[in-house]
Amino acid sequence: MAIVNIIMDSIKNIPSHEEERRAYFESLSLATEALYPVRNYNSFINYFQEMAKKFGKSPCAYYQDLNIDGEIVVKKLTYEQVDRISSNLACTLHPILADNLVLSLMENHSVYYYIFSLAIYKLRIPILFLSTRNSSQSACHLLKQVGAETFVYGESYSHIKEAVVEELGIKYLEMPHINIDEMIEHPLNADSNKLIDITFTRKDLLKTLLIVHR
């Protein structure tokens, strides 16, 4: 809670000018005094991938699944596995989404949502996260506001997709099926270094990562 309060207090005081913002950010205690100071990293995905290297065998995500008897079981993914699976997914999505300046996502939260989001972060595409409580009208309004070029949706939100396509005429993509049990066995895509930009600079700190609404 203390960290949350520090962050909330900091957000209220963020300057508007770019250089002032950079100086203010680097003056925060979270940027300089933490175990892994955020000032050492140039973007969220840069930070995540470095943590995946440091803690590759440590648990990163737990999720529920069904075993062969149809019983609910809890499974674990390590940092290395999540990093590799999301990178391979990013490589698969690259020819479909890489040219997008902004995309939007409406789907129920799950480990698949998490992995998909990481894949999009690796493609350097800002995501508008749409609440599943939004009406078709609200979704269209928000997509239009941010200039989203592709609407990614879960099966349960096909009716929203129909409205979005009819009103805005943008591209759409149903949330890809992510078979974790299968993908966990796949090695890293041999072309990942060509398809995923892993070069980060201080300029990346001020680039948009995600867009949320209230």
* 36, 138: one domain: no
* Share above pLDDT 90 across residues of the chain, in percent, rounded to a whole number: 71
How is residue 193 written in tokens?
């270094």
**Per-residue pLDDT, 35:** 73
Q: What is the structure's pLDDT at 58?
A: 94
In a domain, 48, yes or no: no
Structure tokens at 187: 């090695």
User: Tens of pLDDT along 15-64?
Assistant: 556 677 667 666 666 556 667 777 788 999 999 999 999 999 999 999 99
Is the pLDDT reported for residue 90 higher than 80?
A: yes
Q: Are residues 64 and 35 in the same domain?
A: no
9-16 average pLDDT score: 50
Q: Are residues 58 and 34 in the same domain?
A: no
Q: What is the DSSP string of 63-82?
A: EEEE-TTS-EEEEEEEHHHH
CB-based burial of residue 130 (10 Å sphere; 0-12 exposed, 13-18 middle, 19+ buried)? buried
Residues 130 and 179 occupy one common structural domain: yes
Average pLDDT, stretch 154-166?
96
Residue 187 has pLDDT above 60, yes or no: yes
Report residue 2's pLDDT band, with 50, 70 and 90 as the boundaries.
very low
Query: Chain-wide mean pLDDT for the chain?
Result: 88
Same domain, 17 and 120: no
Is 88's pLDDT higher than 70?
yes
| CATH code for the domain in which residue 119 is found | 3.40.50.980
In the chain, the amino acid numbered 21 is: R
**Percent of the chain topping pLDDT 70:** 85
- Asked whether the predicted pLDDT for residue 4 surpasses 50, the reply is no
In a domain, 49, yes or no: no
Number of domains forming the structure of the chain: 2
pLDDT at site 34:
64
Does residue 35 sit in the same domain as residue 117? no
| Residue 147 sits in the same domain as residue 200 | yes
Residue 47 lies in a domain: no
**Residue 120 located in a structural domain:** yes
Range of 153's domain? 54-211
Domain assignment present for residue 45? The answer is no
Looking at the structure, tell me whether residues 163 and 109 fall in a common domain. yes
Residues 35 and 108 in one domain: no
Q: Of how many residues is the chain composed?
A: 214
Same domain, yes or no: 147 and 180? yes
Beta strand spans in 25-142 (E): 59-66, 72-78, 103-106, 127-129
Q: What is the pLDDT of residues 108-122, one digit of tens each?
A: 999 999 999 999 999
Residue 46 maps to a domain: no
Q: Judge whether 105 lies within some domain.
A: yes
Q: Same structural domain for residues 70 and 104?
A: yes
- Average pLDDT rounded to a whole number, residues 174-178: 95
pLDDT band at 1 (very low <50, low <70, confident <90, very high): very low
* In a shared domain, residues 200 and 129: yes
Q: Kindly state whether residue 99 falls inside one of the protein's structural domains.
A: yes
3-state secondary structure of 28: coil
Is the whole model's pTM more than 0.85, yes or no? no
C-alpha distances in angstroms, 148 versus 82, 93, 104, 181?
Answer: 27, 17, 6, 32
Q: How far is Cα 55 from Cα 205, in angstroms, rounded to an integer?
A: 23
Instruction: Kindly tell me if the per-residue pLDDT of 85 is higher than 50.
Output: yes
Q: Give me the pLDDT at residue 18, please.
A: 67
